Amino acid sequence: MSSPVITRFAPSPTGSLHLGNARTAFFSHLWARKAGGRFILRIEDTDVERSEGRHLDQLLIDLGWLGLDWDEGPDVGGPSGPYAQSERGAFYRELFARLERGGEAYPCYCTALDLELSRKLQRMAGKPPRYAGTCRHLTGAERAERESRGLKPTLRFAVPPDAVIEFIDLVHGPQKFSSADLGDFIIRREDGTAAFFFSNAVDDASMGVTHVLRGDDHLTNTPRQLMLLDALQLRRPGYGHVGLLVGADGTPMSKRHGSTSVSEFRERGFLSEAILNHLLRLGHTSDVDGWLAPADMPRHFQPDHLGRASARFDEAQLLYWQKETLQRMSATEIRTWLGSNASTAFIDLIRHNVVLPPDAAPWAAVLDGELAPLGEEEQRLISAAGPEFFRAAVAALDQSGADFKQLTKTLKERSGRKGADLFMPLRVALTGQAHGPELAALLQMMTPGTARRRFESHAKNI
Ligand code: GLU
Ligand code: ZN
């Protein structure tokens, strides 16, 4: 019998949810849902100074908004709790003691200055800097002497010499590392809190996580974490390291690329379905090219199709998925998304001209408000038609009212213009733009007097 798939997302609440982290959370979630397994949310907040409650709240909101629900976590509990590392100190202490008893970990009294000096010497000797093992063989008396001076030790893992650490990365395939390249590393900080390498690995093991998906930047951490798990005789999860998310120019995603966090995209009016459709294709080849409803995504997630290459996030692509999502929404849903109280007829009229909420404002202004100043192309179309044309338009409008067909018929006869020469200046005068929704319907919905005023404004000789 194969064990159930248990995946997790293990964020450090030190900032808003970055799109890159959202993607690994999403893949992990998809994997659990595809396999009928469980998805765990674990908060890695051992770095007390950088972890903040408001970041945690925001994180839960962002994940919930994306629809990435968790089966176990800080708010819902579960069999492997607590799910915030800041509350798991007792468990870590027990494991630290076990390692110390077995001689697999030892206190290190080196100060930051000692370590800096040692690194300098190593660099001067042309060696890669790593912990020199200074405190590894201190006698009981030497330790006591340091304690009596009030030195607070860190705890270091004693890396076994000449070990070969092998594992099969779920994305990169077979990996092989030599322990000779790794210095003894810190597993407990001076203040007694667990260091990342340690808490991250032992929690995955103790929570029964079977598949860890995370960014490539953690690949070289994995051999250290595996040595720890082996020393503690804890079960190794499978590790898969996915290519990092980069901007359209290939450099790591940062503020220079515009929005980078889930909340920024949400605030700009992007829809979660659009984001998920884009993320699904970033570093993962789906067997379906078209838009997918989130509920259908787990079926089309293929863990063996996760990529090693960095994946390019492209806002143009996101806008494409945004349009695809909007096409599938009802007028009522779009109205809610816009935060508007416009009529269904108006929403249906403008929906194909709106990608983000601010796009709706100019069309509302067309019905009842001020048009934005004309662009170059629009100005040219107005000038080409000339004031005579608009004087005729005013007269035709007075006869036809809001009946666009009648208006254009009359105006065609009076002005001698037809086709684009007839329609384009009308469109620009009425909407301020050369493109947009159906003109006849817009005219019907305009507040009385608005159309006439707009024609008149172009009817004067200058
Ligand atoms: N807290 C770590 C991070 O946010 C977790 C890394 C992992 O997924 O193992 O980078
Ligand atoms: Zn030391």
Distance 138 CA to ligand 2 centre (A): 9
* Per-residue model confidence (pLDDT) at position 256: 83
- Average of per-residue pLDDT across 32-54: 91
Which of 1.10.10, 1.10.530, 1.10.3470, 2.60.40 would CATH assign to domain 376-461? 1.10.10
* Per-residue model confidence (pLDDT) at position 253: 84
In the chain, how long is the greatest CA-to-CA distance?
109
For ligand 1, atom 8, which residue shows the shortest CA distance? 214
Question: Residue 230 carries which DSSP code?
Answer: H
State CA 66 to chain mean position distance: 9
The residues with which 312 forms a beta bridge, in sequence order, are 246
The whole-angstrom separation of Cα 273 and Cα 257 is: 21
Taking 60 as the threshold, does the pLDDT of residue 52 lie above it? yes
Taking 90 as the threshold, does the pLDDT of residue 14 lie above it? no
Q: Is the CB of 431 under 6 A from ligand 1?
A: no
Taking 60 as the threshold, does the pLDDT of residue 161 lie above it? yes
- Average of per-residue pLDDT across 33-50: 93
* Per-residue model confidence (pLDDT) at position 462: 66
**Residue 269 backbone zone (phi > 0: left; psi -120 to 50: alpha; other: beta):** left
Taking 80 as the threshold, does the pLDDT of residue 383 lie above it? yes
Q: Which of 200, 221, 244 should be mutated for ligand 1, with most atoms under 8 A from CB?
A: 200
Taking 60 as the threshold, does the pLDDT of residue 138 lie above it? yes
Kind of pairing, strands 173-178 and 245-246?
unpaired
DSSP 213-227: EEEGGGGGGHHHHHH
* Per-residue model confidence (pLDDT) at position 2: 64
Digit-coded pLDDT (tens) for 57-82? 999 999 999 999 999 999 999 999 99
The whole-angstrom separation of Cα 27 and Cα 68 is: 10
Q: What percent of the chain has pLDDT over 90?
A: 93
Closest ligand to C-alpha of residue 44 is 1
Digit-coded pLDDT (tens) for 300-331? 999 999 999 999 999 999 999 999 999 999 99
Of 170, 187, 136, residue with least CA distance to 28? 170
Digit-coded pLDDT (tens) for 169-191? 999 999 999 999 999 999 999 99
CA distances from 422 to 258, 386, 450, 461 (A): 41, 12, 19, 19
- Average of per-residue pLDDT across 25-39: 98
Taking 70 as the threshold, does the pLDDT of residue 1 lie above it? no
Closest ligand to C-alpha of residue 136 is 2
Cβ atoms within 10 A of the Cβ of 218, count? 15
Compute φ and ψ for 141, nearest 5 degrees: -65, -40
Q: Is the CB of 18 under 6 A from ligand 1?
A: no
For ligand 1, atom 9, which residue shows the shortest CA distance? 214
Closest ligand to C-alpha of residue 132 is 2
Cβ atoms within 10 A of the Cβ of 136, count? 14
Q: Is the CB of 200 under 6 A from ligand 1?
A: yes
In the CATH hierarchy, which fold is given to the domain comprising 1-74+243-328?
A: Rossmann fold (3.40.50)
443 falls in which pLDDT band (50, 70, 90)?
Answer: very high
- Average of per-residue pLDDT across 162-166: 96
Q: Which of 218, 242, 245 should be mutated for ligand 1, with most atoms under 8 A from CB?
A: 218
Sorted by where each begins, the domain ranges of the chain are: 1-74+243-328, 88-242, 332-367, 376-461
Digit-coded pLDDT (tens) for 187-234? 999 999 999 999 999 999 999 999 999 999 999 999 999 999 999 999
Digit-coded pLDDT (tens) for 240-282? 999 999 998 888 888 888 889 999 999 999 999 999 999 999 9
Q: Global pTM? A: 0.93
Q: Is the CB of 12 under 6 A from ligand 1?
A: yes
Mean pLDDT of the chain: 95
Q: Which CATH superfamily is domain 88-242 in?
A: HUPs (3.40.50.620)
* Domain pair 1-74+243-328 / 88-242, same fold: yes
Token pair of 290 as six digits: 């078209």
Taking 70 as the threshold, does the pLDDT of residue 285 lie above it? yes
Q: Is the CB of 62 under 6 A from ligand 1?
A: no
